[in-house]
Amino acid sequence: MDSLFFAVIILDLLIITGVMGSENKRFDENYVVTWGNEHVMYTNGGRDVQLSMDQSSGAGFASKLSYGTGLFHMRIKLPSGGSAGVVTAFYLHSHTSKHDELDFEFLGNKKGKPITLQTNVYTNGQGNREQRVILWFDPTADFHNYQVLWNEHQAVFFVDDVPIRVFKNNTDVGVGYPSQAMKIEASLWNGEDWATDGGKTKIDWSLSPFKVHFQGFDIDGCPAATDHKNKNKLSNSTNQSCYSSDEFWWNAKKYRKLTHKQQEKYENVRAQYMNYDYCSDTNRYPVAPPECESNS
């Protein structure tokens, strides 16, 4: 009986973290291609998807539904070889005139040089909150799990369950916080004007096509009912429903802040691997934005 009990507990943990079940859903159950159809290839019965980019086009896809809160994840294997100027993105986006967005952007580099992961947060159309870390592994060699936990209290970016960024709900001091229904999206595109060495290092098209692989198309999120005037904006009643801790585990009290162990990992990432933080950029922000102290 004891061994069965612990087996069930372990299984629950694996499901919550996305380790189990991440490869069981087919792409077309939850997602659709949004552009570059000819640059999308399906394998393993649609449970693995490859986006490719050459000089003619890249490609992208998005979830069929918008979501109000959740733990959103994707297993990604980045383009191998020299990928300077190539950007792989995985993000949440509201598609409104003043949009909300939670953004992973992988900035390609010359072969043998480290890949930079940039995150950004938009609230009500305001962004410019970039942070960048150097990944501590080779993201082109194998799949890794990238996650965004988003609830009423915080948005946390994870790499293989290691928190690399926290954006807390500071609306009480006038800081915007993502509150609009967002779709889950991914894309492969040409960012050579800015992505590598500030745009100095361009794409070497002789190395194309560039290929990125995705797995894990199940979604742990609150499907957002939307109002009739704005199909992407959550109604007040839907907001409250998506914030329910009884119905959605990611809204429970223990997910309102990092655990002690997560906080240690987070501080280690900031100390060892972060190479840019908008909060520390005094040229752009002589006075640090008000959210910086509580999000550090």
DSSP, collapsed to helix, strand or coil, labels residue 176 as coil
**How many whole angstroms separate alpha carbon 10 and alpha carbon 207?**
43
Which is it for strands 154-159 and 59-63: parallel, antiparallel or unpaired?
A: unpaired
Which ranges of 2-60 would DSSP assign to H, the alpha helix? 2-16, 27-30
The pLDDT value recorded for residue 16 is 45
Helix (H), strand (E) at residue 238: helix 236-242
pLDDT in tens, 118-148: 999 999 999 999 999 999 999 999 999 999 9
pLDDT at position 13, please? 46
Q: Is 293 helix (H, G, I), strand (E, B) or coil?
A: helix
Average pLDDT over residues 239-251: 90
Peptide bond into 209 cis (omega under 30): yes
Asked if residue 208 has pLDDT above 90, the reply is yes
Q: Are 16 and 249 in contact (CB under 8 A)?
A: yes
In this prediction the pTM is: 0.89
Q: Which two tokens stand for residue 257?
A: 């802040």
Size (the chain), residues: 296
Distance (Å, whole) CA 254 – CA 156: 13
Sign of the alpha-carbon torsion through 91, 95, 101, 106: positive
Rounded to the nearest 5°, which phi and psi values hold at 67? -130, 150
pLDDT at 187 over 80: yes
Q: Please give the pLDDT value at position 227.
A: 46
Confidence at residue 296, expressed as pLDDT on a 0 to 100 scale: 72
Give residue 157's pLDDT: 98
Two tokens, residue 53: 């980019």
More confident residue, 22 or 164: 164
Structure confidence at residue 294 (pLDDT): 79
Considering only residues 2 and 185, tell me which one the structure prediction assigns the higher pLDDT. 185
Token pair of 8 as six digits: 């069930």
pLDDT top residue among 224 and 34? 34
Distance CA 130, CA 194 (A): 13
| Top-confidence residue, 231 or 176 | 176
Is the predicted pLDDT of residue 18 greater than 60, yes or no?
Answer: no
**Residue whose entry in the numeric block shows the structure tokens 């069965």:** 4
Element (DSSP H or E) covering residue 77: strand 67-77
CB contact set of 1 (below 8 Å; sequence gap of 6+): none
**Mind giving me the DSSP string for 275-291?**
EEEGGG-TTT-SS--TT
Q: Which two tokens stand for residue 155?
A: 């948005």
| C-alpha span between 28 and 87 (Å, rounded) | 24
Strands (E), 100-231: 101-107, 116-122, 131-134, 144-150, 154-159, 162-168, 183-190, 210-215, 220-223
pLDDT tens per residue, range 87-118: 999 999 999 999 999 999 999 999 999 999 99
Q: Which amino acid is at 88?
A: T
Q: Which residues pair with 31 in a beta bridge?
A: 63
Task: Decide: 92 and 148 in contact? Cβ < 8 Å.
Answer: yes
Q: Report pLDDT for 216.
A: 97
For 54-63, the pLDDT digits (tens) are 999 999 999 9
Split at pLDDT 50, 70, 90, the class of 234 is low
Q: Does position 171 have pLDDT exceeding 60, yes or no?
A: yes
pLDDT tier, 231 (very low <50, low <70, confident <90, very high otherwise): low
| Statement: residue 277 has pLDDT above 80 | yes
Q: Which residues are catalytic?
A: 101, 105
